Structures are given as C-alpha cells and as structure tokens.
Amino acid sequence: ESEVPSCIARKVSQYSCQRKTTLNNYNKKFTDAFEIMAENYEFKENEIFCLEFLRAASLLKYLPFPVTRMKDIQGLPCIGDQVRDVIEEIIEEGESSRVKEVLNDERYKAFKQFTSVFGVGVKTSEKWYRMGLRTVEELKADKTLKLSKMQKAGFLYYEDLVSCVSKAEADAVTLIVKNTVSTFLPDALVTITGGFRRGKKMGHDIDFLITNPGPREDDELLHKVVDLWKKQGLLLYCDIIESTFVEEQLPSRKVDAMDNFQKCFTILKLYQPGVDNSSYNTSKKSDMAEIKDWKAIRVDLVITPFEQYAYALLGWTGSREFGRDLRRYASHERKMILDNHGLYDRRKRIFLKAGSEEEIFAHLGLDYVEPWERNA
Ligand code: DCP
Ligand code: MG
C-alpha cells in the first residue's frame, strides 16, 4: 500500500487558497522545472499549459515531503499528463529532457533575457526576436529601437534591477516610505505587501499599500510623496497611474485583472550603508570613476480607500497563484466575485464589507490562511 495515505491525498484541495503553503519547499527540483515550463508557455502565450504547470508547482510546494516515487503523487489534484511526464523523468533520470530542451531553446533564452528588462513584456520581446535580436547586449547596442520611458529606465538601471532586492533593503525602503508619507499624512497606514509580507527574503520589487483611516482622502498624497523624492534626488523613475475606480461597477470577473487604485511604479535610489565614497573623493584617484554608493530599487506604491483596504491587502499580498485561486474559488464554489476592491455576492446581490483579511476568508467560507502560508 502507498505510504502517502490516499486518505490524505484525497483531502488535498485543488485550490491553493485551501492549502497552507510556506516557504519550505521539499520539491524545489520539481517546482523549478515546472516554472521553467510555465514560463516557456507564457512566452508562447499558451495560457492553459502555463497555468497547468503553475498549478502543479503550487501543489508540490505545499506537499510536506519530497516526492520520490510516482506513488507519492497518486490521487493528487493539479497533475495533468504533461506534468506527470516531467515528474516521472525527474524521478528516473534526475532531470527532465523537456526542461533541458526549453533551457537550450533559442527563443526561450532570448525572451528570458528581454523580459528581464523593466518594461519589456512578451509582446515587445516577440517583436525584437523577429527582428533577429537575441541578447540584452544586442538590445543595448541597437540605437534604432524605439523604447518607452519605462524601458529606457529598465536599460539604464539593468544590473541593479536584475539583482534581487534583499529583506534588509526592503526594510530600509520601508523606513523611507513611512517617513515621507507621514510628513504629509501623519495617520496614514503604510503596509509592505507582496513577497516580503509572505516572509520572502528576496524579491524583484517592494510593494506598499497606503491608506488613510477616517474620512479624509488625499488624491494629492502620491504626487506630494514623489515630488519630495524628486527634490531629494531619490527618484530615478516614476509613473503615476490615476484611479479609474467607479463605485457602481461590479468586481471584475477576470482572474488576472489589474485593479483601479491610484498607484505609482517607481525606481528609487537607495543609498547603501557600507559603501563610503568620501575617502575615494579625497584620494589621488579622485579623477577615477566614482564608486557607486547606491542601488536602484523597484518600488510600487498603491493608494486605497480605507473601506477597500482589506481587499487590496489580500490581493497585493499574493502570491499570484494564491490570488488566482481565491478568485476562482469565489466564483466557482460560492457564486461570488472577488477582486482587489471588494467581494460581490451574486445570489444576494450585495457587496460584502470587510475590515480585515480574516473577514474576507470568513465571507468566502474559507479557513484563514496567514500571509506566510500563501506562498503557493
Ligand atoms: N498584484 C495584484 N494586482 C496587480 C499587481 C500585482 O493583485 N495589479 C498582486 C499579485 C502579486 C502581488 O500583488 O502576488 C505582488 O506582485 P509582485 O509581482 O511584486 O509579486 P511578489 O511580490 O509576490 O513577488 P516578487 O518577489 O517577485 O516581487
Ligand atoms: Mg513584489
């Protein structure tokens, strides 16, 4: 008989919002492979296969033991035929030939490089690939490419931005954001979201949610904050998106929808403590290139009305897969529509208010899942 009791296997939900997924992953060998497969399908704009591998990766991140035999995955949800083949090969050969093929694929390699540039997505990558371009170096050298303001910043700070953001850097930026916001709105609540709220030690950016308890709303806050940073010389890039929220509108049914909050995508200049420039400036080598004592960091700020804060927090904390499954669960199992602004009960035809994430899970009839257990 199987040592993974099938009674446990049968209990595993297909929805990651009904599972607790911490950062200790016993199956990294498999989940890394699945994520490469998913990314390759994303580059090919094959959403179905992409999701199949992402869901399988989430499931294996949840399993409290390393998979070593095919029996271990017996009866589990989210394991399609393609996924099963990859698992089988990794168990038997130690690696997957299909994953190796992807990693050696010219198109995958080029897209992987292109999309690592801030502001470059699959569509742009496709265009550049068709033009015969293959590497970031070739893109940088090609002066005929029409680049957006975002992409220009992406190339300018490329090295800093591809090197991940550490927890220490996230803490330093948190202080800056809190200080700046409180000079304009002393009562404002500033919360770090995204991967860092889930306990990750590394991230590709730092996400913040800002709300002001009480009646006062300040549409100018974001503008004031970035203007101050600009004056202080800390703002390397900034794109403010104004709110497009309409009160009567039903929550979006799209599973990957953007929200309508006022937000801004920035690149901040974070001065690195340990790097001291002063001694270099006074030395004989002062005519040499200065030592760079700062790092460019991607920071997102999102402003939410206080009544929608819990929904925004739940959405922006992620993970992406966890959020997708919350929405899928809400609509398929509860006839409700969830987005970053609220939850709509289609049967009762009302919006359900929530002042905390706990209340949202309760509205959905789900056990509460802590942020650090949402690493699906
Ligand atoms: N999110 C959202 N709506 C958006 C953009 C993102 O609800 N318009 C959610 C999904 C993500 C979370 O916010 O889980 C944060 O987005 P990131 O892309 O920053 O993802 P993470 O913070 O989880 O990972 P990383 O460490 O790569 O930053
Ligand atoms: Mg993030």
Helix (H, G, I), strand (E, B) or coil at 5: coil
CB contact at 8 A, 195 and 161 = no
**In angstroms, how far is CA 264 from the centroid of its own chain?**
15
- The whole-number average pLDDT for the span 130-136 is 98
The DSSP bridge partners found for residue 338 are 343
Dump pLDDT digits (tens) for 282-292. 555 556 677 89
| Confidence at 249, pLDDT banded by 50, 70, 90 | confident
**Nearest alpha-carbon partner for 122 in 38, 205, 206, 195:** 38
| DSSP string for residues in 298-311 | EEEEEEE-GGGHHH
Same CATH topology for 6-102 and 105-156: the answer is yes
Q: Which of 54-63, 135-144, 270-279, 286-295 has the lowest mean pLDDT?
A: 270-279
Q: Which residue has the higher pLDDT, 265 or 9?
A: 265
- The topology (CATH level 3) of 6-102 is DNA polymerase; domain 1 (1.10.150)
CB contact at 8 A, 197 and 160 = no
Q: Where are the domains of the chain?
A: 6-102, 105-156, 165-306, 320-373
- The topology (CATH level 3) of 320-373 is Beta Polymerase; domain 3 (3.30.210)
Distances (CA, A) of 300 to 148, 193, 198, 239: 19, 10, 16, 10
- The topology (CATH level 3) of 105-156 is DNA polymerase; domain 1 (1.10.150)
- The whole-number average pLDDT for the span 183-188 is 95
For residue 110 the two structure tokens come to 């080029």
Ligand 1 mutation pick, 17, 193, 207, max ligand atoms within 8 A of CB: 207
Pairing state of beta strands 294-304 and 206-211?
parallel
pLDDT of 1 higher than 50: no
| Confidence at 255, pLDDT banded by 50, 70, 90 | low
CB contact at 8 A, 270 and 169 = yes
- Mean pLDDT for the chain overall: 93
**Nearest alpha-carbon partner for 208 in 303, 308, 307:** 303
ipTM score for this prediction: 0.95
Cα(133) to ligand 2 centroid in Å equals 29
How far, in Å, CA of 37 to CA of 86, rounded?
Answer: 10
The DSSP bridge partners found for residue 270 are 295
pLDDT of 100 higher than 90: yes
165-306, superfamily in CATH? Beta Polymerase, domain 2 (3.30.460.10)
Instruction: Please give all residues whose beta carbon lies within 6 A of any atom in ligand 1, as ranges.
Output: 194-195, 200, 203-205, 207, 258-259, 315-316, 318-320, 323, 340
pLDDT score for 253 = 63
- The whole-number average pLDDT for the span 238-245 is 91
Dump pLDDT digits (tens) for 304-341. 999 999 999 999 999 999 999 999 999 999 999 999 99
Work out the percent of the chain whose per-residue pLDDT is above 90: 86
Cα(119) to ligand 2 centroid in Å equals 15
Helix (H, G, I), strand (E, B) or coil at 294: strand
Q: Which residues contact 160 (CB under 8 A, 6 or more apart)?
A: 295, 296, 297
| Confidence at 278, pLDDT banded by 50, 70, 90 | low
Dump pLDDT digits (tens) for 340-361. 999 999 999 999 999 999 999 9
Buried b / exposed e along 271-292 (16+ C-beta atoms within 10 A)? eeeeeeeeeeeeeeeeeeeeee
Would the CA dihedral through 198, 202, 207, 212 be positive or negative? Answer: positive
Ligand 1 mutation pick, 197, 320, 322, 341, max ligand atoms within 8 A of CB: 320
Helix (H, G, I), strand (E, B) or coil at 189: strand
Dump pLDDT digits (tens) for 7-58. 555 589 999 999 999 999 999 999 999 999 999 999 999 999 999 999 999 9
Q: Whose CA is nearest to atom 9 of ligand 1?
A: 316
CB contact at 8 A, 341 and 308 = yes
pTM above 0.90, yes or no: yes
